[in-house]
Amino acid sequence: MKRAKIITDGSCLGNPGPGGWAAIVRDRKDGKDRQQELSGSEKWTTNNRMEMTAVIQGLKRLSGPHRVNVELDSEYVRNGVTTWIHGWISQGWRKASGDPVKNADLWQELLSAAATHEVTWTWVKGHADHADNNRCDRLARAAAKQAKHAAPDAIDAGKQVRIIAGGTCASSPGPGGWAAILQYGADEKELCGSERRTTSNRLHLTAVIAGLKALRKPCNVTVELDSDYVRNGATSWIHGWERRGWKTASGDSVKNADLWRELQSAVARHRVTWDGANKGPDRTDTKRCDRLARVAVNEAAGAGDRRAKSTG
């Protein structure tokens, strides 16, 4: 059985409040060692949910069964998954007191994610001399801050939002960057991020997903981007893929299915119109989005890690 190591952490500003999670995944692909850094955020959550989400996302990144060591500084997650969960299941997801188990949705998702693996759960002391844990802590905190400064809650259903999205890749696959500009009334937000090894199609998908996830409430959204792959996929191809169990008409697995599912979930809350990038004389926003993505590419190529930042 293949081996892997996952280091995770979660962070929350307020608890509950804006939160972030991060995971470092080390495994092998095509006979070579590889390391992936993952992170994400939620506008309103708790520290425990972020700790759990980090582990879930790390396990989901593994392809096929693994003997995996999960290192985490959350006693809640380690004790829950190794001890408490057995009683919760036998009691119908209720505690001994009869009260419903908190975060049952994520506990069930964690069980599913771990089911195909042999998992060892290793507790490490947080904020101590553990380089990987400290790295995850920094990534999770950065993601939580990004959630805090995401598009404001005041955007109501029916309000028009414009998202200009783009992505660029130094080589395919290779270092890449994505960017999204959100415009709502007189307000604006810029989002951008990078990945060490990716493709142009994945970056365009990521840009749109990040823009939609930054919206707290349902909105009328116009998405502008120059990717026919994303626009055609979101408006036409995705319906057939889903019916066929995420297979193409030829029976092959859909490429980037993880991001297509994430996009599908992000789109579900809004009324989205898909438009091509502005190719007219007034392309200020499109050009600015391209510049942001290119800056992110340089970060990915130079720093060798995966970042996401929010400006504006």
Catalytic residues: 9-10, 51, 73, 127, 137
Tokens linked to 81: 């998954």
H or E element that contains 60? helix 47-60
Say how many C-beta atoms besides its own lie within 10 A of residue 175's C-beta: 22
Residue 252 CA, distance from chain mean position: 25
Contact yes or no for 169/143 (Cβ under 8 A): no
H or E element that contains 194? strand 187-198
* Dist CA 241 CA 254 (whole Å): 7
* Dist CA 144 CA 208 (whole Å): 19
Contact yes or no for 311/190 (Cβ under 8 A): yes
* Dist CA 176 CA 221 (whole Å): 26
